[in-house]
Every structure is written in C-alpha cells, then in structure tokens.
Structure 1
Amino acid sequence: MPFPTPDLRIDRDAVLWSASERDRAGRPLLVLLHGYASDEADLFGISAYLPLEPVIASVRAPIPEGQGFAWFSRYTNMPGDPLAANADAAAAAVLDWLDEQPQTPTGLLGFSQGGAMALQLLRRAPERFDYAVQLSGFVVHGEQDGDAHLAASKMPVFWGRGTLDEVISSDAVDRTTAWLPDHSALDARIYEGMGHNISSAELADVSAFIRSGLRR
C-alpha cells in the first residue's frame, strides 16, 4: 500500500534572511535549500562567500527527521531516488512560500536533498526562476510539466560534486548526468578529493556563476 503524499508547509518564522524587510526592496533573491537532517542555519553560513547583491533566504525543510529536517523522508523514499510525488509536495510548499514574497529575479542554491529540490522547483515552475546551483545532489525520476520549457530555454544550472562523495549513489549521478545537459545551460564541475561537502574552491566557482547570472 503506497504512503499518502504529505501536505507540507514551510515554517515562515524559521526562514533566515540576510537583510531586513526594508532592505530587501528591489534586490534579487537567492533561496538556500539545506540537506538531509540539517536546518536553515547550515547553508546560511556560506552567505559570506556569495555575492552581496542578492537577498539570501535560507528556508527550513518541512519534515522533522534525524537531528534536523528533511525535504523527503528516508523512511518512505529510497536514498537518491525519492518518489516524485513526495519531492513535488516539498516543492509545492516552497512555491507557496515564494508566492508571499515580492516578485523579483530569483535563484536557487541547494545541497544534497536540497540540490534535488532546486532542480525539482525548476521543473515545477521554470518561469519563477533565473538560475539554480545544485551541489552534491541529483535529479528526481520521472517527467514534469516544466521539463519541455527547460529544454527549450536552457536555464543556467551549476552542478558541483566531489570525486569522493559516497552519499549520492552512482545511479543518481548517472541519471543527473544524462538529464541536465538536455534541460539546462549546464556548468558542471567535479572537485578532486572532495567528499559530500562544499569546498572553498567550489564556493569560489559558485560565487562567480551567480555573479555572471546577475549580469544577464
């Protein structure tokens, strides 16, 4: 018997912002999506290494799990291969939250599960976003309504991963390797000796990628 699709919601009070509401006006937005069993404070720590122009909003995943929170549960999903309906439910929660924010150029940056979420959000609502950064993540199985739009528009996507990452399975990496070139203007980087984490060299590349996107 399949598990029911969860009805998820972003905790508005848990969002960490890099600027006050008054100082956000007229600036682009960068949404941070943390990894499994982590929280909004984790990725927010890289804000100092990213361009200053975008307002950064680090959101908390909606499912309490482990020592933190998850976008989709490991108890009802295979690692690296979640049910599309569960990833869709988490993406819908983020999109509902985004509906409450001022319309502005918006980018996504996600790590691990959050990287999968960044791509899922692009696929669910490609017209809402301008670029995505996917770090040590993967693309979810299945087709989405926005896939054709992405294939035609070739939105900029940065995909970074390490040669020593033992968390994301080879099947998930192979699936993502096959999908991304056909659905994005892909900037793919592989970092020698890096595990399932983010290195200083990768952060420098991410910052340059975001900066180039802001100039477009």
Structure 2
Amino acid sequence: MTAFAPPTVMTQGDPDGPLVVLLHGRGSRESEIIALADALPAGFHYAAVRAPIAEHGGFAWFANRGIGRPVPDSLRETMDWFRSWLDEVRPAGGPVFLVGFSGGAAFAGGLLLDDPHCYAGAAVLYGTLPFDAGLPTGPGHLAGVPVLVARGDRDQVIPRDLLDRTWQYVTAGSGARSTARRDPVGHALAPAALAALSDWLRAEAGGDAAA
C-alpha cells in the first residue's frame, strides 16, 4: 500500500458552516481551485485539498488507464487516504458537499459511489464518474442523493462516451436527485455553471448555511 503524505489543505469561509470540499483537476493543485470560493456563497466552510500523487508539476487523484479511467487499486488507495482525513476534520453530524472539476469530478464521483450516504451531495463538473473501477454503479445506487452534473458541449478533453454515460447515469439510472446542465463551452467552468453551483449549494444546505 502506498504511504501518502498528510493532505495539504487550503480553507476559506465560515469554519462553522457546512463543509464544501473542493477537488481540483489533474495536474492542478489546491491553490488554484480554492479561488472558486470567492464566487460561491457565504456561510460555508470551503476546503481545497491537494491530490496525493505528484504529476507533471501538479497533482493527480489516481493513476489512469486512460483519460477518465482510473486504475482501480490506485483509486481505492487515494479514496481511503481522503476518507481518513475527512473523518478527522468533518464536523460532528454536519453536512459535507463534494465539488470536483475534471479529474476531481471523477474522484468526487468515486467517493460518492463508494459511500453515498456519507455526503450531503456532490457536484460533478466537466468530468466523468469513474466507471469500471470496481465501484457500484447499479440502478438506484444513488437514490435520493443530490447530484449536480455539468458538462461542456465542446469538451475535447473528457471522452464523449464517458460524458454521455455519466449524464445518463446521474439523470436516470442512479436514482439521484439530479440537477443537470450543459454549457456551450469546452473543458472550462462556464460562469453560468458556477452560478448554478452556488444556487445548488444554497438550496441543498437550506438552513445549515448561515446567511
């Protein structure tokens, strides 16, 4: 088993608010995705976590068999590493939201599939769920779980078959309480998608987030 270093984490917002974990894309780092917190609602505690695998000057959440296709053993190791950190820092009984972009979306999706009831919801932004990685993806597996899925119709990074499969599973097969949007952009977060993420967090947190 790989011995990963403890996570490097940047935080912003209200430490007493619902926890929103921001998961960056492949080759990026926590200091980049934490900038999203400036455009997201007040009243939340935002934590941007650095992925544990150094790669090409940045960091990755898992070893790949191809874009969007994690090596199952690698994904299992990094998910267990993440959960060890989360179990130490999550507020007792408090909600935890996952927000992942690109490779971070696949990682967020893996965490959600592995333990759907651990999270108050997950946003899968411009990425794919980690299909064929040893995680359950059967009908109704995410029944009632809030999931926001967003994709760019001009995305040339994530394979189209994975984008389509993710869209279909989240909006139909999974049973999730889904919010779905498509934007006329490539592999980059559209301003309208960021606004939709803000609205989704407010709606799902309800009275748990301070005004």
> TM-score, normalization: structure 1?
0.86
% same residue = 33
Which of 101, 114, 122 is residue 112 of structure 2 equivalent to? Answer: 122
Deviates more, 1:141-150 or 1:172-181: 141-150
Residues 190 and 40 of structure 1: CA distance in aligned 2, closer, same or farther (over 3 Å): same
* Distance change >3 Å, CA 149–CA 125, structure 1 → 2: farther
Contact (CA 8 Å) 1:8, 1:62: kept in 2 or not? Answer: no
Match of 1:66 in 2: 56
Q: Residue 71 of structure 2 is aligned with which of 83, 97, 113?
A: 83
1:34-92 deviation line (CA, Å, top 9, x unaligned): 00000001111110111111100000000000120001134xx2112222332222211
Q: How far does residue 130 in structure 1 lie from its aligned partner after superposition?
A: 0.5
Give the unaligned 5+ runs of structure 1: 1-5
In structure 2, relative to structure 1, the CA distance for the partners of 1:144 and 1:160 (3 Å cut) is: same
Please report how far the alpha carbon of residue 123 of structure 1 lies from its aligned counterpart in structure 2 after TM superposition: 1.2
| Counterpart secondary structure, 1:72 | coil
User: What corresponds to 2:191 in structure 1?
Assistant: 200
Unmatched runs of 5 consecutive residues or more in structure 2: none
SS in structure 2 opposite 1:100? helix
Residue of structure 2 aligned with 1:18, choices 12, 16, 19 = 12
- Let me know the Cα RMSD of the aligned residues: 2.0
* 1: CA distance, partners of 2:4 / 2:88: 13
Cα contact 2:105–2:127 (8 A) shared by 1: yes
**Length-normalised TM-score, structure 2:** 0.88
CA distance in 2, matches of 1:171, 1:147: 18
Matched positions, count: 202
User: What is the distance in 2 between the residues matched to 1:135 and 1:127?
Assistant: 20
Specify whether residues 126 and 89 from structure 1 end up closer, same or farther in structure 2 by C-alpha distance, changes over 3 A only. Answer: same
Partner in structure 1 of residue 177 of structure 2 = 185
Which residue in 2 is equivalent to 1:3? none
CA–CA distance in structure 1, aligned partners of residues 182 and 138 of structure 2: 25
Q: Kindly tell me: are residues 123 and 83 of structure 1, through their superposed partners in 2, closer, same or farther at Cα, counting changes over 3 Å?
A: same
Which of 71, 90, 106 is matched with 2:96 structurally? 106
Shift in alpha-carbon separation, 1:8–1:110, aligned structure 2, 3 A: farther
Please identify runs of 4+ aligned residues in structure 1 that moved more than 4 A.
Answer: 145-149
Match of 1:7 among 2, 8, 16: 2
Q: Which amino acid in the other structure matches residue 86 of structure 2? A: L
Amino acid at match of 2:203: S
The alpha-carbon deviation at position 175 of structure 1 amounts to 2.1
Q: In structure 1, the residue corresponding to 2:88 is in which secondary structure?
A: coil
Task: Answer yes or no: is 1:50 the counterpart of 2:40.
Answer: yes
Does 2:24 match 1:34? yes
What residue in structure 2 maps to residue 154 of structure 1? 144
Correspondence 1:131 to 2:131: no
